[in-house]
Chains A and B, each alone.
Chain A
């Protein structure tokens, strides 16, 4: 085909093709509602946690003893808590804590889980050892394990991250391992072996890129999970230590005055719900986009029959 026609039309045709491909990608992206909704929420949360603190007129620890437990009003948009601290400010700072804890846990578990999963899939004997350890960790309910670890490590933000990373790493390792086991049996891995590549090279250069998409999807779910678990830990008093705001802490304070000050439990609770819904739906969307074999995609398409006809 390329030989027909002059080079000018050829380059034009290529440009057109590229444009079409981009449009198709855009279409595919925006037709994926859960992805779009999730992404909007996540971006909103990111902005809230990283830009928000500069926009609030109060500090998270500023006490206004006269204005304790005020209902939402013009001065304090979401009201104040039992120490007279501005609730909006605390929620914004709490968002920063929750998001950064969740993000760090997602990143740390991804890296460690990736390494464990890859090596477990490649070496049979190591697999037995690593996976039994993971099984052991998974057998204990996550929150219980986290509380135990926090009790051992002491209440500190870093320790929350360490504890929850230990809790969630086995879930990532499992996913990576099962994906890597499939890749490992592919002919191209054997072909690389026949070309004389070392095991380390095969594992990191040839297997790892093939398991990235399930890993990324799992990481977003871990992100959401760790936000919930961190809030739960703080709520139980085993998370981020007291004066520093986190969504769980605010809920904990609000629990004491739940009949007098509904706003202290409703707003942080709402944000946790929004954050988790956002992250989960982004994870769902990512899975639809990244895994072409996933069945849900076709289901959605049947809803938009018109779009299908256009494509055909």
Chain B
């Protein structure tokens, strides 16, 4: 087992808004090891993006309050001052965003923007930085990088822009890359290319990746471990095999069942998880998933379940996971998806 790169302990993110106090991330704990790809899944509004931005403390100071620990290489990121966190950002931890069409500044050339990160963190001259930028563009698989570096973002296609954005993020060889739904805005073929690229980069540069997505297919393809989030909490954490073979949390089960099957019955309705995510201002008292859970009883409504370690790599936050497990063995294998 390689050593731990990022260790998040009981992380909470509070927002103070006009409508009241909101805890968007509530007691999240997980870790990322060196060179490991960890997937974070969950439906919209479950706190995935907030969590990822909390790691880099990207929210405006004063409107937000953090609690817990984010240990990165032995340092608690939440305790760093402004200048120290600026040194970590981009240099040790980088981030790529969801929408490649708006993550590059339209007024600067692509090469200039990659060089910017290098100039920020390394004592490189402008010329050196620009040469490095071309190298990076080559690394992420952009053809004729010398030419592309001189072009503006609007000259590039969506897939190329996402590659360029990855180049920006990789500029200083970060140890951890946070990818916040990097393929959501791209079509499937480009998506596959970007995923391949990330896989290769992960092997080549030995960097840890937190891959945030709501696409379980992508997770199955790329990640070795998965964290399932619901309403600001981690409801299940498992290795990829365990998650698809033996999901313990009803929410995870629901997610896996909701994946449309190519060879499935077309006339049948797709599986859905009933109800919607409640707003964060009205969080249920007991188990947060209780209102939508087919297994819920009084116990679930009354008190929140503890996190149980089922195996060394699989943790679940549910009162009834054993019952669910038994139930599952009866039904045909859910794991038809690969």
> Interface of A with B (CB < 8 Å)?
2, 124, 186-198, 201, 205-206, 209-210
Contacts and interface: CB of A to CB of B under 8 A. Distances in A.
A190 B97 contact: yes
Nearest to A206: B105
Nearest to B178: A194
Contacts of B97: 187, 190-191
Contacts of A210: 105-107
Interface string B200-242: 0000000000000000000000000000000000000000000
Chain B contact surface mostly = loop
B54 interface: no
B35 interface: no
A198 B84 CA distance: 11
20 contacts: A187-B97, A187-B98, A187-B103, A188-B105, A188-B106, A189-B105, A190-B58, A191-B103, A191-B104, A192-B105, A194-B56, A194-B89, A194-B94, A195-B89, A195-B116, A196-B117, A196-B121, A206-B108, A209-B105, A210-B105
* 7 shortest interchain CB distances as A-B pairs: A196-B89, A195-B90, A196-B90, A209-B107, A194-B95, A187-B102, A188-B105
B117 A195 contact: yes
B16 to A, nearest CB: 13
B120 A197 contact: yes
Contacts, number: 66
B99 interface: yes
A180 to B, nearest CB: 13
Contacts of B199: none
Contact of B94 (A189, A195, A198, A209): A195
Contacts of A206: 105, 108
Nearest to A212: B107
Contacts of B169: 195
Interface string B136-177: 000000001000000000000000000001001101000000
Nearest to B104: A188
A284 B294 CA distance: 63
Contacts of B88: 196
A198 B119 CA distance: 12
A196 B98 CA distance: 19
B104 A193 contact: no
A191 B99 CA distance: 11
Nearest to A183: B105
